[in-house]
Amino acid sequence: MKYFIGIVPREEYKTRITEFRDKWKNNSISDIVEPHITLKAQGGLTQDEKWISIVKEICYKTSPFQITLAKPMFFGEEILYLSTTSKELYTLHERILRKVAPPSDLIEKYFELDNYVPHLTIGKTAYGLTKQELINMANLAEIELAPFPTFEVTSVRIYQESAPNRYIKYLDIPLNEDK
């Protein structure tokens, strides 16, 4: 069983992103996972689930914070995403990563710590789109997904693999709103 931790945008914008992604018939990303910003990738999130109590403790010590989604960008020519800005997101990522402590090869494999680029994926060639469709999607995202929102993060979501390369909500962990 595989897991990862993400942050979900507010419901109305999540729906808007899903509807946008689904305009491309070959885009299978919505079949894989709902729109989210990855906070912590799979490395170190083991089946014994002992790491969940670590994540809960960190979240309890973390106040809600703001994330701003921003313009579409690319990883190479294969992945299109909405960029994000939030200093607190980087801090939370690092705190979870340091406590879960996956091996360095997994940190490197999943682009964490110094290589962490928080983002919300809207299309990938690996999920059925051509490079040209991604370019077209990026141009349209500038228009259809703007204005890009700022939203408050009050919880994080653990996703669990339900079938090969398919993830569903497993558990929401609230941040400490009393801080």
d(CA 107, CA 151): 28
What angle, rounded to 10 degrees, do the helices at 51-60 and 87-100 form? 140
Q: What secondary structure does DSSP assign to 48-115, as a single string?
A: T-THHHHHHHHHHT---EEEEEEEEEEETTTEEEEEEE-HHHHHHHHHHHHHH---HHHHHHTT-GGG
179 residues of the chain, pLDDT tens digit each: 899 999 999 999 999 999 999 999 999 999 999 999 999 999 999 999 999 999 999 999 999 999 999 999 999 999 999 999 999 999 999 999 999 999 999 999 999 989 999 999 999 999 999 999 999 999 999 999 999 999 999 999 999 999 998 999 999 999 997 65
CATH number of the 3-174 domain: 3.90.1140.10
50 vs 96, 100, 176, CA distance in Å?
13, 9, 21
Model-wide pTM > 0.95: no
